Amino acid sequence: MSYLDNLLFSLSVTAPIFLVMAAGWFLRRLKWIDDAFVETGSRLVFNLALPALIVTSLVNLDLDSLVNPRQVGFGVAVTVASFVLLWIVSAWWPGSGPDRGVFVQGAFRGNLGIIGIAVCASLYGNTGLAVGSVLLAGITLAYNILSVYALTASGGRQHTSWRQIVQGITRNPLIISILLGLTLAAFKVPVPDLILTSAAYFGQMTLPLALLCVGATLSLDALSHGTAAAFVATALKLVVLPIVGTLAALPFGFSPMELGTLFAMFASPTATASYVMARTMGGNHQLAASIVALTTLLAPVSLSVGIYALRTLGLI
């Protein structure tokens, strides 16, 4: 396969995702959509549309052939290892204080529920979406626990108990939908076509609506007002951690789809939830906003280059 074919393939995966995001940014500037639309749309995606998409993608999944516990375990292990290394290094720079937890969270916590899932689906269709959803479940559990620890230990004003963390995880609509879908698939529970078709209608609006909302919240000012910590966190999130995580996966003999979905999750831009958590828990939310904006704006380049490289090497 020629280099041009690989380039076109990588662009075919990433370009539609980020063009829809660009449309959201443009429509927000035209005032066709506003903050109220973004807030309502984001809530609709998180609580209904994305869970419906996840359940419909998992319900008929052949778990024995497609779900690899080693892949999920590896994804969680890389997430935890990344956090530990970042936490140790951040003691020297940017140093102790509320910036430390925000910096670490921004550098390791990816936007799996929107960008990660979208790249998996663009790469491998419904099968990639299903495999990515299982990865999402394991890694998201680690994200929530580690992020709360980082923000609390670095001196945030509000402390969160382990009971609150567990309650937040068990009430998370994405976790609930993943567990429901996996249970239905594992026990081969027949779901009426009426319900599946209705859920599919909601699922089909997930990615367009979610990407429009993400795009509408972006600000190009982040490129000119980002601090050194924001730029370093961006480089770690988009370049260093995806390369290290993907290279570490090679000796495990994962299939091309397993490796591709792992890369999609590792290379996703920083989750918008990191800004919400930083603001709620007394961290430097301006730094969190800069990291989210910078990683999201630059992710089209890093994801395209990464997919091109993996495709050229015949790994995905």
Residue 181 counted as domain residue:
no
Higher pLDDT pick, 298 / 227:
298
- Give me the residue label for tokens 């609509």: 173
Buried b / exposed e along 102-133 (16+ C-beta atoms within 10 A):
bbbbbbbbbbbbbbbbbbbbbbbeebbbbbbb
Residue 174 counted as domain residue:
no
Question: Tens of pLDDT along 182-207?
Answer: 889 888 888 899 999 999 999 899 88
Residue 48 counted as domain residue:
no
The confidence score (pLDDT) of residue 107 equals 95
Residue 104 counted as domain residue:
yes
pLDDT averaged over every residue in the chain: 87
The confidence score (pLDDT) of residue 89 equals 93
Residue 69 pLDDT > 80? yes
Q: Would you report the helix, strand and coil content of the chain in percent, each value rounded to 5?
A: 80, 0, 20
Is-contact 271 174, C-beta < 8 A?
no
Strand partners, 270: 110
The confidence score (pLDDT) of residue 123 equals 93
**Residue ranges making up the domain that contains 131:** 3-39+64-167+207-312
Confidence label for 133 from pLDDT (cuts 50, 70 and 90): confident
Residue 259 counted as domain residue:
yes
* Pairwise CA distance, residues 109 & 92, whole Å: 20
The confidence score (pLDDT) of residue 1 equals 54
Residue 200 counted as domain residue:
no
Q: Among candidates 169, 180, 164, which has minimal Cα distance to 56?
A: 180
- Please count the structural domains in the chain: 1
Residue 198 counted as domain residue:
no
The confidence score (pLDDT) of residue 230 equals 92
Higher pLDDT pick, 13 / 77:
77
The confidence score (pLDDT) of residue 129 equals 87
Tell me the CATH number at 93. 1.20.1530
Residue 267 pLDDT > 70? yes
The confidence score (pLDDT) of residue 179 equals 86
The confidence score (pLDDT) of residue 156 equals 54
Percent of the chain with pLDDT over 70: 94
- Give me the residue label for tokens 């992020």: 147
* Pairwise CA distance, residues 163 & 159, whole Å: 12
Question: Tens of pLDDT along 72-128?
Answer: 999 999 999 999 999 999 999 888 777 898 999 999 999 998 899 989 999 999 889
Q: Residues in the chain, how many?
A: 316
Q: What is the pTM of this model?
A: 0.85
Q: Helix (H, G, I), strand (E, B), or coil: what is residue 111?
A: coil
Residue 281 counted as domain residue:
yes
